[in-house]
C-alpha cells in the first residue's frame, strides 16, 4: 500500500518527540530534517518538500508548540494540517451541469489505466443516481474499443462506439446519442500515447473544442512517481485540466505523486484507484489521506465502505438471529462476503486508528484465509451449516478433503465461528436499553 514506508518513518520521528516532553527549537529542527528526508525518499517533489517543511517549521517553533502542554501532539497536528493543505484541503467534487448533459473527458498516457478507470467512474456515478454513457474514442490502441465494451457489459453501462472513425466525430455523435437515450453524463475514453506528443495533444484539443467538456480528468499511474507530476504539468498546460485521478495507489508505491501533484499543477485530485476491481475507485479526501499517512486511521471512509457493503435486510435478519441465538455458519458466510465487498483486509484494518501498517505486519489477516473459509463452509452439508455442533472428527476429515484444506484449518474456522457467535451475543446484550431503530453495522469476527 502507498505511503507505508513514509508512515513508518514519520511515526518514528513523532515517537522520538513524544519521549522528550517539552521541546526545544533544536528538537523541532532535528525532527523537521528527518521529516524532510522521509518525504524526499517518498518521491515528493523537492520544491514541494522545501515549502512544506518551511511552513511546518515556522508554526512548530512558535508559541503554538513551545507553550503547549502536549508539544509533540501539537507538532503532529501541524504536520497533519499542512499535509491536508498540500493535497487540497477538502474533497474536490465533479462539476455537474445543472441541466442537460455533463461531459467528462478522460485523458492520459497509454498504460495509466484510463479505460478501466472510465468504467469505474461510470459505475461510481451510476450508483449515485446518474445515467452515464461510456464513449470509445480511442481508435488507435489495439482492442481499446473492445476493452471498454467488456467493462461496460460487466457494469451494465451503455457504451457508444463508431469503430475507427475520427475521434472528434465519435465524441460529437455520442452527445447526440446521449440526448436521445436520456443519458445525463457522457464519459469519453480518449486515446493515449507512450509519451506526450503534438499529435496526441492536438487531437485532445480538437475533442475539447468540439464537445466543451465540464471536466477534463487526467488519469495518472501513481507508481511512476515524479514522472506523474511532470505528465500532469504538461497536460494541464495544454488542456487546462479540471482534476486528476491517481491509479494504482494500492501498489508498492512511495506515494510522492499524491503529495506533489496538487501543489505543482494546482489541479485537485478528485479520485484514487485502490485496486484492480471495478469497484475500487474512491473520491479523494485530502484530510483523510493525511490522517492515514500519519497513522491516525480513516474512520469516515471505513464507515462509508461498511455502509455501502452491508445489506440492510440481511443486517436486520442477522439481528433477529442473534436475539434468538440461531446464528449459524450460513450467516457467518454472509459476513465473510460483506467483509470481502469492503475491499482488502489490509486496507480496512489500515483505516482503524492506531493500526499503522507496521503494526499489521504480524497479523494473519490474509485474503487466502477468507477464500479457504468459504471453501470449507461450501464443503459442509446444509445440516452441518445450520448446526455446527454435530461436526465430529470424521466429518472434519471429510470437509477438509472436500475443500482442499487441512483439518487444522477446519478447526480454525469452527473456533473463529464460535468466538464470533459469542461476541455477537455479548454485543446484543450490550445494545439492550439503547434507542430502538438505530441501524447497526454488521460485526465482522476478525
DSSP strand pairing (243-247 vs 159-160): unpaired
In a domain, 97, yes or no: no
* pTM of the full structure: 0.69
290 & 306 share domain: no
Whether 123 and 239 share a structural domain: yes
Distance CA 48, CA 337 (A): 42
Does residue 95 form part of some domain?
no
**Cα angle for residues 284, 287, 289 (degrees, 5° grid):** 60
The pairs formed by 319-325 with CB atoms below 8 angstroms and a separation of 24 or more are 319/428, 319/440, 322/424, 322/425, 322/427, 322/428, 323/428, 325/425
Q: What's the confidence (pLDDT) of residue 370? A: 74
Please say which residue of 53, 86, 119 terminates a domain: 86
- 136 is a domain residue: yes
Phi–psi pair at 128, nearest 5 degrees: -95, 5
User: Residue 36 domain-assigned?
Assistant: yes
Q: Are residues 109 and 190 in the same domain?
A: yes
In a domain, 414, yes or no: yes
Residues 322, 418 within the same domain: yes
Helix, strand, coil percent values for the chain (each to nearest 5): 60, 10, 35
Residue 441 lies in a domain: no
The count of residues in the chain is 446
CATH number of the domain that residue 339 is part of? 1.10.260.30
pLDDT at 120: 96
Residues 346 and 406 both lie in one domain: yes
Please tell me whether residues 259 and 110 are part of one structural domain.
yes
**Distance, CA of 319 to CA of 231 (rounded, Å):** 51
* 384 HSE (CA, 13 A, CB side): 16
Strands 281-283 and 269-273: antiparallel
Asked if 271 and 322 sit in the same domain, the reply is: no
Q: Provide the domain limits for residue 23.
A: 4-86
How far is the C-alpha of 272 from the C-alpha of 247, rounded, in Å?
Answer: 6
Domain assignment present for residue 446? The answer is: no
CA torsion, points 87, 91, 95, 101, in degrees to nearest 10? 120
Q: For the chain, 446 residues long, give each residue's pLDDT as a single digit of tens.
A: 567 778 888 888 888 887 776 778 888 888 899 999 988 888 888 888 999 999 988 888 776 665 665 777 788 888 888 888 888 888 889 999 988 999 999 999 988 899 999 999 999 999 999 999 999 999 998 889 999 999 999 999 999 999 889 999 999 999 999 999 999 999 999 998 878 888 889 999 999 999 999 999 999 888 777 778 888 888 998 899 999 998 887 765 566 777 888 888 889 999 998 888 888 898 998 888 887 777 665 445 555 555 555 555 666 666 676 666 777 888 888 777 666 666 665 555 555 555 544 444 444 445 566 788 888 999 999 999 989 989 999 999 999 999 999 999 999 889 888 887 777 666 666 555 444 444 444 444 43
Q: What is the CATH number of the domain that holds 44?
A: 1.20.120.140
In a domain, 129, yes or no: yes
Q: Which of 86, 116, 150 is the last residue of a domain?
A: 86
- Same domain for 137 and 193: yes
Same-domain status, 225 and 154: yes
Is 299 within 8 Å of 441 (Cβ atoms)? no
Domain end residue (candidates: 54, 86, 118): 86
Residue 113 maps to which CATH number? 3.40.50.300
Q: Are 139 and 167 in contact (CB under 8 A)?
A: yes
Give the integer Cα–Cα distance in Å for 65 and 74. 6
Reference 377, options 353, 409, 348; nearest CA is: 409
pLDDT on residue 360:
45
Whether residues 221 and 132 fall in one domain? yes
Query: Is 127 in the same domain as 150?
Result: yes
Give the chain's domain count: 3
Residues 121 and 54 in one domain: no
Amino acid at each position: 500500500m502507498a505511503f507505508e514506508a513514509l508512515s513508518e518513518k514519520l511515526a518514528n520521528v513523532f515517537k522520538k518527540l513524544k519521549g522528550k516532553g517539552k521541546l526545544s527549537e533544536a528538537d523541532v529542527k532535528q525532527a523537521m530534517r528527518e521529516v524532510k528526508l522521509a518525504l524526499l525518499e517518498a518521491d515528493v517533489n523537492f520544491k514541494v518538500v522545501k515549502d512544506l517543511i518551511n511552513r511546518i517549521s515556522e508554526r512548530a517553533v512558535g508559541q503554538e508548540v513551545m507553550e503547549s502542554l502536549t508539544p509533540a501532539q501539537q507538532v503532529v497536528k501541524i504536520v497533519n494540517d499542512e499535509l491536508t493543505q498540500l493535497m487540497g484541503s477538502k474533497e474536490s467534487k465533479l462539476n455537474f451541469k445543472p441541466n442537460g448533459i455533463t461531459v467528462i473527458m478522460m485523458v492520459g498516457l497509454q498504460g495509466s489505466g484510463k479505460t478501466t478507470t472510465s468504467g469505474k467512474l461510470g459505475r461510481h456515478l451510476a450508483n449515485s443516481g446518474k445515467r452515464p454513457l461510456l464513449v470509445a474514442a480511442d481508435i488507435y490502441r489495439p482492442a481499446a474499443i473492445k476493452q471498454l465494451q467488456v467493462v461496460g457489459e460487466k457494469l451494465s453501462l451503455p457504451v457508444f462506439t463508431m469503430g475507427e472513425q475520427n475521434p472528434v466525430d465519435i465524441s460529437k455523435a455520442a452527445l447526440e446519442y446521449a440526448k436521445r437515450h436520456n443519458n445525463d453524463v457522457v464519459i469519453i475514453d480518449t486515446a493515449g500515447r507512450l509519451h506526450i506528443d503534438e499529435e496526441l495533444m492536438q487531437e485532445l484539443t480538437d475533442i475539447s473544442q468540439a464537445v466543451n467538456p465540464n471536466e477534463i480528468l487526467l488519469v495518472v499511474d501513481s507508481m511512476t512517481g515524479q514522472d506523474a507530476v511532470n505528465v500532469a504539468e504538461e497536460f494541464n498546460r495544454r488542456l487546462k485540466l479540471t482534476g486528476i485521478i491517481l491509479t494504482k495507489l494500492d501498489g508498492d508505491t512511495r506515494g510522492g505523486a499524491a503529495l506533489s501533484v496538487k501543489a505543482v499543477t494546482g489541479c485537485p485530485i478528485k479520485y484514487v484507484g485502490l485496486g484492480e476491481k471495478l469497484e475500487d475507485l474512491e473520491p479523494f479526501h485530502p484530510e483523510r489521506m493525511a490522517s492515514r499517512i500519519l497513522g491516525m486511521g480513516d474512520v469516515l471512509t471505513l464507515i462509508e465502505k461498511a455502509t455501502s457493503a452491508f445489506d440492510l435486510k440481511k443486517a436486520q435478519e442477522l439481528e433477529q438471529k442473534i436475539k434468538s441465538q440461531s446464528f449459524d455458519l450460513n450467516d457467518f458466510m454472509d459476513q465473510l462476503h460483506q467483509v470481502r465487498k469492503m475491499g482488502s483486509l489490509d486496507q480496512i484494518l489500515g483505516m482503524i486508528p492506531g493500526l499503522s501498517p507496521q503494526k499489521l505486519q504480524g497479523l494473519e489477516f490474509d485474503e487466502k484465509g477468507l477464500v479457504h473459509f468459504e471453501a470449507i463452509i461450501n464443503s459442509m452439508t446444509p445440516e452441518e451449516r445450520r448446526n455446527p455442533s454435530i461436526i465430529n472428527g470424521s466429518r472434519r476429515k471429510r470437509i477438509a478433503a472436500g475443500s482442499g484444506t487441512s483439518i487444522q484449518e477446519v478447526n480454525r474456522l469452527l473456533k473463529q465461528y464460535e468466538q464470533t457467535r459469542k461476541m455477537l451475543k455479548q454485543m446484543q446484550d450490550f445494545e439492550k436499553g439503547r434507542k430502538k431503530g438505530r441501524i447497526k453495522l454488521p460485526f465482522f469476527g476478525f
